[in-house]
């Protein structure tokens, strides 16, 4: 029974999965190592309208995690294998409040809930945005954790556990804050790699609101006996910290080799940027709304958090409610056939954050600019793709300028890497080669960090990425000048 098998729990805003990752010949000496994925459990996710706001159905998600781990154990047993460890990643910024007894006080709010918007001005009166940026390097988004926390009434005796940390806590009983995700709170010092305690104090937040930091690769703990029994895994099974911010895991698995690359993690959101060794904390960077999030191995994910395929999935939800349910592939094929040069929107418009009749809001925004977008799903789909591709090109050009870099290739990973129209338009708007895939980069990054912690891989991100390249079929798109 080999111990080269790892379970990745990866929950995005639109869906979650539990994946078994197997490392074959991963030592850096062998060039032909590989990482193979087996998806053992999949489930939908989305915000739910509950009394008091937009929240995540965390109890349901945790039940899916347990079901997924059970399925993982069963799949491993079938191959006479033992799962070495479990890694967890989810979307960033959101948290659950837990009391001293370890009880979750309420289902966690979603960052799409509007309540944090009103907290922005009061927070900025206490902490000037320029000062916040100079320390945290975090792009302003109205839902960053610090604004959400500013809406809480009474935090006495409570701790805030970011979503992956909350899952790890329920599995192991151990409270930690994984550092890549901590970097999305607005309360984390990007240079020191520590909590910016002075900001917690300035906002009147308890000093110990968050549990101590843990780095990707360190062990959180082992499964609680009752959990191990419930999912049928050995009690000694470890939970290992990975890049628990899904974007950190995705970037760790970008199949880049030696080239200067940009990446786009394309899913519900589009995370567009560069990997750097040092944060860029300049006023120009702040003005351009670039973030310096922490990556695996202390790297900086210098990126812009842009609107993403939420724009399309929300349209699909509205059309579905109206009885129009085309296959995504058909919709994209029809949109590809439309001529270029149609109307565009700003995907970052805060008007698009909440879930509510997206086609109408997109058309209203276009009308506002004096243009016209027909009430036609194909035209609306094309408008979204053109707008995203334009935004991607602008973000990459801005990142190159602000970080003083030039990139040769753009890697697109995540669900959006399957969208050929979007990939081609991105090649056209950037004028750069686009390499698409892997779709499951996040789970791959999650598995690779665990495998390295277990000693199956040695080296840094370059060595991890070598395994991604050798294990995945990637698609290349070259700029077509005729489309410009």
By the rule CB under 6 A, 267 interacts with ligand ADP:
yes
Which CB sits closer to ligand ADP, 23 or 335? 335
By the rule CB under 6 A, 39 interacts with ligand ADP:
no
Residue 289's binding partner, choosing from ligand ADP, ligand LRH, none, with beta-carbon cut-off 5 to 8 A by kind?
none
Query: Counting beta carbons within 10 angstroms of the beta carbon of residue 49, is it exposed (0 to 12), middle (13 to 18) or buried (19 or more)?
Result: exposed
Task: Give just the sign of the alpha carbon dihedral 371, 377, 382, 388.
Answer: positive
Looking at 187-236, list the stretches that DSSP marks H as alpha helix, in order from N- to C-terminal side: 197-202, 225-231
By the rule CB under 6 A, 415 interacts with ligand ADP:
yes
Contact by Cβ (8 Å): 236, 222: yes
Q: How far apart are CA 121 and CA 383, in angstroms?
A: 33
By the rule CB under 6 A, 395 interacts with ligand ADP:
no
Q: Which residues are catalytic?
A: 246
By the rule CB under 6 A, 246 interacts with ligand LRH:
yes
DSSP string, 109-176: BPTTSGGGGGGHHHHHHHS-HHHHHHHH-PPP-TTSHHHHHTT-S--TT-EEEEHHHHHHHHHHS---
What residues numbered 76-105 form the site for ligand LRH, per CB under 6 A? 91-93
Q: How far apart are CA 484 and CA 481, in angstroms?
A: 5
Q: How far is the CB of 236 from ligand ADP (least distance, A)?
A: 31
Residue 305's binding partner, choosing from ligand ADP, ligand LRH, none, with beta-carbon cut-off 5 to 8 A by kind?
ligand LRH
Q: How far is the CB of 24 from ligand LRH (least distance, A)?
A: 29
Residue 222's binding partner, choosing from ligand LRH, ligand ADP, none, with beta-carbon cut-off 5 to 8 A by kind?
none
Q: How far is the CB of 435 from ligand LRH (least distance, A)?
A: 20
Which CB sits closer to ligand LRH, 255 or 267? 267
Piece of the chain touching ligand ADP by CB under 6 A; list 352-360, 380-388, 395-403, 408-416? 408-416
By the rule CB under 6 A, 403 interacts with ligand LRH:
no
Contact by Cβ (8 Å): 254, 261: yes
Classified as helix, coil or strand, 212 is coil
Tokens of 262: 């940009």
Residue 419's binding partner, choosing from ligand LRH, ligand ADP, none, with beta-carbon cut-off 5 to 8 A by kind?
ligand ADP
Tokens of 180: 């890549």
Q: How far apart are CA 184 and CA 198, in angstroms?
A: 17
By the rule CB under 6 A, 247 interacts with ligand LRH:
yes
Residues of this chain that bind ligand LRH (CB under 6 A): 12-13, 91-93, 111, 245-247, 267-269, 271, 305
Residues of this chain that bind ligand ADP (CB under 6 A): 12-15, 267-268, 309, 312-313, 328, 414-416, 418-419
């Amino acid at each position: 029974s080999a111990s080269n098998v790892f379970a990745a729990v990866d929950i995005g805003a639109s869906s979650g999965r539990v994946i078994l990752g197997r490392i074959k010949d991963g030592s850096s000496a062998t060039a032909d190592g590989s990482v193979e994925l087996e998806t053992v459990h999949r489930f939908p996710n989305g915000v739910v309208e509950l009394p008091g706001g937009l929240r995540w159905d965390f109890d349901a998600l945790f039940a899916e995690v347990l079901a997924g781990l059970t399925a993982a154990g069963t799949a491993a047993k079938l191959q006479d294998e033992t799962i070495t460890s479990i890694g967890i990643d989810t979307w960033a910024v959101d948290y659950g409040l837990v009391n001293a007894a370890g009880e979750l006080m309420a289902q966690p709010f979603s960052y799409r809930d509007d309540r944090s918007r009103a907290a922005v001005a009061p927070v900025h009166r206490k902490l000037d945005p320029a000062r916040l940026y100079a320390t945290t390097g975090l792009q302003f988004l109205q839902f960053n954790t610090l604004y959400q926390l500013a809406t809480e009434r009474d935090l006495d005796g409570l701790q805030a556990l970011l979503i992956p940390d909350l899952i790890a806590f329920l599995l192991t009983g151990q409270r930690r804050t994984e550092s890549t995700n901590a970097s999305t709170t607005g309360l984390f010092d990007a240079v020191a790699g520590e909590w910016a305690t002075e900001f917690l104090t300035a906002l009147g937040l308890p000093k110990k609101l968050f549990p101590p930091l843990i780095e990707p690769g360190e062990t959180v703990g082992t499964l609680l006996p009752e959990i191990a029994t419930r999912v049928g895994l050995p009690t000694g099974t470890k939970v290992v910290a990975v890049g628990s911010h899904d974007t950190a895991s995705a970037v760790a698995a970008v199949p880049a080799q030696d080239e200067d690359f940009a990446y786009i993690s394309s899913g519900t959101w589009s995370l567009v940027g560069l990997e750097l060794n040092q944060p860029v904390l300049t006023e120009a960077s702040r003005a351009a709304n670039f973030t310096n999030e922490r990556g695996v191995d202390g790297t900086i994910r210098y990126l812009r958090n842009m609107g993403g395929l939420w724009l399309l999935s929300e349209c699909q939800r509205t059309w579905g409610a109206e009885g129009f349910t085309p296959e995504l592939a058909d919709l994209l094929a029809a949109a590809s056939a439309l001529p270029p040069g149609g109307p565009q929107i700003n995907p970052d418009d805060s008007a698009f954050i909440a879930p509510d009749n997206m086609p109408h809001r997109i058309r209203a925004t276009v009308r506002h600019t004096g243009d016209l977008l027909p009430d036609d799903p194909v035209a609306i789909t094309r408008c979204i793709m053109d707008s995203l591709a334009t935004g991607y090109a602008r973000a990459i050009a801005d990142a190159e300028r602000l970080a003083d870099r030039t990139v040769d290739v753009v890697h697109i990973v995540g669900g959006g890497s399957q969208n050929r129209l979007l990939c081609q338009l991105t090649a056209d708007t950037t004028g750069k080669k686009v390499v698409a895939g892997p779709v499951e980069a996040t789970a791959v990054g999650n598995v690779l960090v665990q495998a390295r912690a277990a000693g199956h891989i040695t080296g840094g991100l370059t060595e991890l990425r070598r395994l991604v390249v050798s294990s995945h079929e990637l698609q290349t798109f070259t700029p077509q000048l005729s489309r410009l």
